[in-house]
Structure 1
């Protein structure tokens, strides 16, 4: 892991903190899944899909942070970016898709939740309901995978990235986020040799990881 870059986007007041017990349970699950200590099967996928279907209608107003500081900073300072397609995994209601579209020539958004994808109409022009543990994407075909507050599926992420491709790993609330996984753990989980650069930005943090 490369040294963290200095912060350039300050953390504003009013950071929305999720319930501590719930957040810690999700963080434990995320760590165990990335490290291979927990399996991802139909039961887990069904639970997550149903949960976010239920949250979709009021996600933007009641759940989402609405801040793009970590992603903006990652795109500004985490490059160089490859000129190729980007896959946005766990895209939700598409709040951050327009920013990705400004950086990549093509962006495809996938999510387990059909209701989330419906809410993303108008933001995400290419939307596919899919499980990130089995991406409907050819080997070595992507310039980037963008994972914003998302579970990590290391082998599948590595499979679809082209040589020199990068993983945009974004935690909107940093260590307080329910799916927070530090960049060091992401590097350890990914197969092969990877380099990373990252920083804190706004309420959150980011890392850009590139296959070495």
Structure 2
């Protein structure tokens, strides 16, 4: 087994998600993941603390990107405009690799209760990052919570549309789909009055 190959972290993620889909999360071991990726167990542990961490590997990055986008919004931006800037920043960083992994990730999560709970925590982490960034801009807690909640929903809707394997046509850019979802939600929220 070679000591070094490029893209070790991505290869570990692909191997893990493939194995989770084939034999289930609980029946997949770290050794199997490393072997499928043609890496060693020690390489696995250089990138991940355990196999659960594979499913939340991008959470910190996604939360950071959302907060950076909100921070970079113009000073006079409304909370919703700032959240839109965060969504634009985060969505713009998603690649074809993320899209290709989506069906495997979805299958793994749907088949395991623990992973469903972790996925819910990921959404909570995204919301918390946006709330913190909005509060730094002087937005009241309750307003920040509502704006962040709409942001999480919009990201989820846009991502689901982008990653939908049943779509025959190219879905386009995630940022466009997330922006459209956010606009739909803003309009729906306005109808609540």
Is TM-score (shorter-chain normalized) higher than 0.5? no
Which has the greater radius of gyration? 2
* Higher helix fraction (1 or 2): 2
Q: TM-score, normalised by structure 1?
A: 0.28
Q: TM-score, normalised by structure 2?
A: 0.30
